[in-house]
Amino acid sequence: MRKRRSKYALNVSVIILLVILLITLNSLSLAYKDVAGLPFKSINSTIIVQRNGNVPENMTGVVLSCSSAPIGADYLSKVKGVDGVKDISDGLLLWVFDHDNFKRVFGVNWNDGFGRGIVSEISVGSAPQTSSEVLVDKAYADHYDLGVNRQVSVSGVDFRISGIIESSGKNVIPSDVYVPLTSAQTLAYNSRNLQATERFSETDVNVVFVDVDQVNLKQVSQKLNNILSVGQSTGGNTPTGQVIGSYSIYTPTSFENQISSVFKLSDQLTLILSLIVPIGAILIIANSSSHTLLERRREFGIMKAVGFRNRDIQQVVFSETLLQVLIGYVAGLILSFIVIALLARTTVSVNVPWEVGGYPHFLLPNPNLAGTVLTYLLPISFQVTYALLSGAIVVAIGLLTTMILARRINGLKAMEVLRYE
């Protein structure tokens, strides 16, 4: 009896393991995909478009963030006209090399989707009401001892700080100072260095946020790529030497590769899972079959001798298998729930491509660190779908096991077993 109990315990353990692997790894894989989309939630969009341009010879005064190029109204209208695009927001990201410090300045339209996202992150103060009011990132404000109602100077133009936001580590394109878009456009238009590098019109922007339904994402992304690439040559070189195309289109899919290496494992683990599931199933079947046939042949022979029909024995075996499957499944569900609850307390980092919201590489010791790192709580949750899927798989394993045993039980002759064993 002890021997059989240990075999039952092994079967139940294998089922528990299968359920945990199926639910947890698939949920992890789903979370991994969701993580890639999180940076886009803060900008109320699903696609970021930038045009790639030239790098200024001298990093002085106001320049476009490297290596972006101006995007004019004609391009904006092309983007707006693509089927599936719900809304667009635009902005102008500038690098400002003032005599005493460097700052990233983002021109924002407070009323569009991106602007509303920025305003919603104000922790102190209020949204700018005039063209001379700005928001300042908390890290920058702390470093330069700035606060609400204080002045911040951008290329010689003074702005009043109306609020402080915490964008660092949250926003896909973080900045130090968020100014009204028109004010940023004026700063850019008046910059000689910028105009010497790229021809900038006073209504140009250099970042476009496109809001698209998730289902249309791939199609729209492809259409944007086709439309914007027509007649364009390469855009230039990144500060790290990479040749880049005339446009860069970033989607959650393109961010998946930027997720920390731990999460890259999840796809590999899911792949391994697809191997473990059948192997686990084979283990259960092999274990139960050998257990039944080698150790229970005599028992089944006795049952037949005292009046059990084949179907009566099959019912006994089915009940035993069902009980093991049920115990294993319920225990697996509970343990999966606990594992997922623990995983949900971990954080995951997303490295935003340098070109999206990079920091001047020459101001950092390592150019590879110039990209933005965003940190999120792992968006993993217990998925009922996977619970049902794992349930279906273990039931199938149970049925398969019972079917195989049923065939063998049918072929068992009571006296052959009792005579020779």
User: Would you say 328 and 10 are in contact if contact means Cβ atoms under 8 Å apart?
Assistant: no
Q: Which is nearer to other proteins, 260 or 287 (CB)?
A: 287
Integer Cα distance of 58 and 39 in angstroms: 32
Owner of token pair 């021997």: 3
Q: Which is nearer to other proteins, 192 or 298 (CB)?
A: 298
Q: Which is nearer to other proteins, 51 or 304 (CB)?
A: 304
User: Would you say 175 and 105 are in contact if contact means Cβ atoms under 8 Å apart?
Assistant: yes
Helices and strands, counts by H and E, the chain:
14, 16
Q: Which is nearer to other proteins, 12 or 187 (CB)?
A: 12
10 Å CB burial of residue 78 (0-12, 13-18, 19+) is middle
DSSP run (H or E) holding 387:
helix 384-410
The residues binding other proteins (CB under 8 A) are: 1, 4, 298-299, 301-312, 315-316, 414-415, 418
Going 97 to 100 to 102 to 105, the CA torsion angle's sign is negative
Q: Which is nearer to other proteins, 13 or 319 (CB)?
A: 319
Q: Which is nearer to other proteins, 98 or 299 (CB)?
A: 299
* CB 287 to other proteins: min, Å: 17
* CB 406 to other proteins: min, Å: 14
* CB 412 to other proteins: min, Å: 10
* CB 8 to other proteins: min, Å: 11
Q: Letter for the amino acid at 146? A: L
Instruction: Please enumerate in sequence order all residues whose Cβ is within 8 A of that of 299, keeping only pairs 6 or more positions apart, or say none.
Output: none
Integer Cα distance of 39 and 29 in angstroms: 17
Instruction: Please enumerate in sequence order all residues whose Cβ is within 8 A of that of 339, keeping only pairs 6 or more positions apart, or say none.
Output: 20, 24
